[in-house]
Amino acid sequence: MNNKTIKNAVIYTRVSSVEQAECGFSLARQEEECKEFALKQGCSVSKIFVEKGESAKTVDRTELKNMLEYCAQNKKNIDYIIVWKLDRLSRNMNDHYALSAFLGKLDIDILSATENNQNDAVGKLTRNMLQAFSQFENDQKSERVIAGMKQALIEGKWLWRAPLGYKLIDGELLIDEEKAPMVRKIFELYASGLYKHSCINKYIKKHYNYEIPTVSLYSMLKNLVYCGKMYCPSLHKEVVKGKFEAIVSDELFAKVQSMLGGNRFQALTNRINSAEFPLRQFVLCPFCGTPLTASKSTGSKNKKYAYYHCYNSSCKTKVRIPKNTLEKMFIEFLSTVKPNKECIETVKKSLKEQYSSMSKEFNKNHNDLSKKLTELKSTKDKLVDLYIQGKIDDTIYQSKLDSIKKEENEISITLNELKTPKANFNSCLDYVLNSLENLENLWLDNDLETKQKLQKLIFPSGLIYEETGFRTGSNPWFDIKKGALMAPIFYMVPPREFESLSTP
């Protein structure tokens, strides 16, 4: 380091909210030691940047950004950035290299007031090691935080803000006696199947003087917290029973889910819904009309037997049908169910409409994006001209060129990702009609959610089990009104079918 001429430095100090409590990190002390160090080096300090209570993440720090901007603007007058320790500046290797590279371009060196500043191999190694250690420390800290959260979740602790109907007091989720009855009422109203969202909103506004946006109503009805459970797949893959009181019963919650047909449907506990028992809650007991539930029992030699059965305690005849028997019966029954002419016509018409609107949308998007690409190309040509004529300098040229290339790239990717409705319409139609003719295969080939949707679609009021076969409820397949079939059937044909059908 050259001490003969006066050098200029800026000082950067930082303390996170956690560190504020610990000694040895105080901003005043960092600043004092940095100033002392500058004096020893014969530097004059032109500006001090103080970062208070921000996270260790480099991108989140406003003062760091301000300092880098200041450095870029005053690069000729700044020789050093002085920090108390290198970990004040960056907490991971990538950020460290990025910062060093940036400051290197400006011809500004980073000096640590308390660590090795030599610019030789040993000095660099020391600095890199220090950086590596602080990254390790940081990674470990976040691992610990996640592990802690996971543990707390498994123990049944609520880790988030209190949802409507609850209060969070000293980290414990407690029933909000004022709002909980309203939440329960919302579930009951929805489960009755008699009210639309807007009606429920109106009812709640009138009786509880509380307004719930439709979106919140939806997410509320799907929130497992209300039946006393938690599901947070990023921390733990299973549903966890919470250490707090439920506002609605499991049964009520399950009923609402089956009516919503929502995404959380499958996230429920086994007791409520399981891929192993697709007919649970769908086939009805012939004696009391209760939807059958299902479970496994252990027989001799520890062999498991799966059954569908009636769980109504006041039902005199306890129906109990082996899983395989009932499902086989159901599949055979399905194979006898065929769409009538009217239904086929409706599906044809609906598919045609959907196909044509998909094609239109695809063409429009494709044209718009291609047009944008052409425009970018001509902008690029103009830029090159300006550069050749010496009207713009290297830096501007490069940065403009980079941003054009970036945009070009993004558009190309979007273009590639555009879903091409390349399927031949007739083969698509054949596929759907064939699926309708062979409902049993459609049912067998699909996942739990689709199976259950299909069941509900064909037999809206369930099937009554009888030893000799099934009895349909009040709304059999043949009575399905014109149009009622359109959306769901189309929905069940996954878009990928279009593609797989089109490939020879």
**Interface with Zn ion (CB under 5 A):** 285, 287-288, 290, 310, 312, 315
Cβ distance to Zn ion smaller for residue 163 or 291: 291
Cβ distance to Zn ion smaller for residue 272 or 283: 283
- Least distance between Zn ion and beta carbon 153 (Å): 38
- Least distance between Zn ion and beta carbon 309 (Å): 9
- 3-class secondary structure for 409-432? HHHHHHHHHCCCCCCCHHHHHHHH
The Cα 256–Cα 157 span in angstroms is 25
Cβ distance to Zn ion smaller for residue 89 or 329: 329
17 is catalytic: no
- Least distance between Zn ion and beta carbon 248 (Å): 24
476 closest CA partner among 495, 454, 449, 458: 458
Structure token pair of residue 361: 């949308």
- Least distance between Zn ion and beta carbon 479 (Å): 26
Residue 169, phi then psi, degrees to nearest 5 = -125, 120
CA distances from 248 to 187, 212, 353, 366 (A): 8, 18, 43, 49
CB 421 within 8 A of CB 498: yes
DSSP string, 107-153: T-EEEESSS----SHHHHHHHHHHHHHHHHHHHHHHHHHHHHHHHHH
CA distances from 68 to 10, 72, 89 (A): 10, 6, 11
Cβ distance to Zn ion smaller for residue 265 or 282: 282
- Least distance between Zn ion and beta carbon 321 (Å): 12
Structure token pair of residue 394: 């290297």
Can you name the residues that pair with 291 across neighbouring β-strands?
Answer: 284
- Least distance between Zn ion and beta carbon 192 (Å): 22
Please enumerate in sequence order all residues whose Cβ is within 8 A of that of 144, keeping only pairs 6 or more positions apart, or say none.
none
Q: Which residues of 324-342 are buried (b: 16+ CB within 10 A; e: fewer)?
A: eebbebbeebbeebebeee
- CA dihedral (398, 403, 406, 411) in degrees, to 10, reads -140
Beta pairing, strands 80-83 & 109-112:
parallel
Cβ distance to Zn ion smaller for residue 469 or 483: 469
* Cα Dmax for the chain: 104
- Least distance between Zn ion and beta carbon 498 (Å): 44
Cβ distance to Zn ion smaller for residue 266 or 290: 290
- Least distance between Zn ion and beta carbon 311 (Å): 8
Cβ distance to Zn ion smaller for residue 197 or 309: 309
Cβ distance to Zn ion smaller for residue 321 or 442: 321
Structure token pair of residue 177: 């006696």
Beta pairing, strands 43-52 & 80-83:
unpaired
Residues carrying an active site annotation:
16
